[in-house]
């Protein structure tokens, strides 16, 4: 899995970052999400500095993440468990085909 550079744009500013082909789609989703959050803050008219907008966006996103994890719910862990269950179901079903 070699990393390759990809050009992205956040609030009209161009950046070059590296990622693997497997990470590309999720990176672009993250870029879109961050760009949207930063534009919301800018459009609210309370801040002009891109640095301050970026810090507030980071704070808001971190708050969202921590709220998602509250109550013992870790989204990453839930996804892993669902994936493990799906693999177990697939294994059981493939065994059924052998019986028929």
Does residue 86 belong to any structural domain of this protein? no
The answer to the question of residue 87 being in a domain is no
Note whether residue 96 is domain-resident. no
- pTM, full prediction: 0.67
- CATH number for the domain that contains residue 42: 3.30.160.880
Using the 8-state DSSP alphabet, how is residue 2 labeled? -
Residue 91 placed within a domain: no
CA 90 to chain centre: 27
Query: Residue 17's beta-bridge partner residues?
Result: 6
Strand partners, 19: 4
In a domain, 99, yes or no: no
For 33, half-sphere exposure in the C-beta direction (CA atoms, 13 angstrom radius) is 11
pLDDT at 100 over 60: no
Structural domain tally of the chain?
A: 1
In a domain, 88, yes or no: no
pLDDT tens for 68-99 read 776 666 777 778 888 889 988 888 887 766 65
Residue 90 resides in a domain: no
């Amino acid at each position: 899995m070699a990393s390759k550079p990809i050009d992205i744009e956040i609030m009209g500013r161009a950046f070059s970052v590296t990622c693997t082909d497997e990470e590309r789609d999720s990176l672009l989703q993250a870029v879109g999400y961050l760009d949207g959050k930063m534009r919301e803050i800018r459009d609210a008219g309370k801040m002009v500095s891109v640095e301050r907008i970026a810090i507030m966006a980071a704070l808001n996103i971190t708050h969202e993440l921590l709220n998602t994890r509250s109550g013992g719910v870790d989204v990453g862990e839930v996804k892993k468990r669902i994936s493990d269950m799906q693999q177990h179901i697939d294994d059981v079903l493939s065994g059924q085909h052998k019986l028929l």
